[in-house]
């Protein structure tokens, strides 16, 4: 079986603005060295991950970060620093739902606190990063659809959906 080279991208690039790294982007696979070198040559932090299970965790961390900030952001607005400092209980409840969904998708239990710590590292990389992007409502809907397909209860996410239509 062919194994692709995979990266979990932790930078953003918007038109007319420079690249804005949050944290180092992990890269796994046979071409990881070249991709890491290319990213670093552009002053984009990146590192190689040799263990496939570790890379899976890195990909889940990114999903936890994106879905938690977007879905909780529908409720709170603001940036990730405000989300964590002022609404940490909500952020943790949404993250727990997201992690349950991710566990179902990957077919195994994951270390919740390690995933939360990874999400928090992303928050610390850009504290003023806005929680809710344009695609937040679609991400909420997709999470609910995926949960329904897998018969998973996501109480915090369901409550947000009910209040934010």
3-state SS of 149-163 is HCCCCCHHHHHHHHH
Range 26-37 average pLDDT: 97
pLDDT at residue 1 greater than cutoff 70: no
Mean pLDDT (whole number) for 84-97: 98
β partners of residue 26:
47
Rounded to two decimals, the pTM is 0.94
Phi/psi-derived region of residue 12, left when phi > 0, alpha when psi is between -120 and 50, beta in every other case = beta
Mean pLDDT for 127-135 is: 92
More confident residue, 64 or 3: 64
Options 1.10.1040.10, 1.10.1840.10, 3.40.50.150, 3.30.1280.10; CATH for 52-164 is 1.10.1040.10
Can you give the residue ranges of every domain in the chain? 1-50, 52-164
Helix axes 136-149, 52-76, angle to 10 degrees: 120
Alpha carbons 98 and 114: distance in angstroms, whole number: 14
């Amino acid at each position: 079986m062919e194994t692709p080279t995979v990266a979990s991208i932790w930078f953003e690039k918007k038109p007319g603005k420079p690249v804005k790294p949050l944290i180092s982007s992990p890269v796994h696979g046979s071409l990881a060295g070249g991709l890491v070198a290319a990213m670093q040559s552009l002053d984009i932090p990146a590192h190689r991950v040799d263990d496939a299970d570790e890379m899976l965790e890195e990909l889940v961390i990114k999903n936890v970060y994106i879905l938690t900030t977007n879905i909780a952001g529908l409720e709170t607005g603001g940036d990730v620093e405000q989300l964590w400092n002022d609404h940490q209980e909500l952020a943790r409840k949404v993250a727990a739902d997201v992690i349950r969904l991710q566990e179902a998708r990957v077919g195994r239990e994951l270390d919740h606190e390690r995933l939360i710590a990874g999400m928090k590292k992303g928050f610390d990389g850009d504290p003023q990063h806005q929680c809710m992007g344009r695609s937040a409502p679609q991400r909420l809907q997709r999470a609910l659809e995926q949960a329904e397909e897998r018969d998973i209860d996501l109480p915090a996410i369901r409550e947000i959906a009910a209040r934010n239509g």
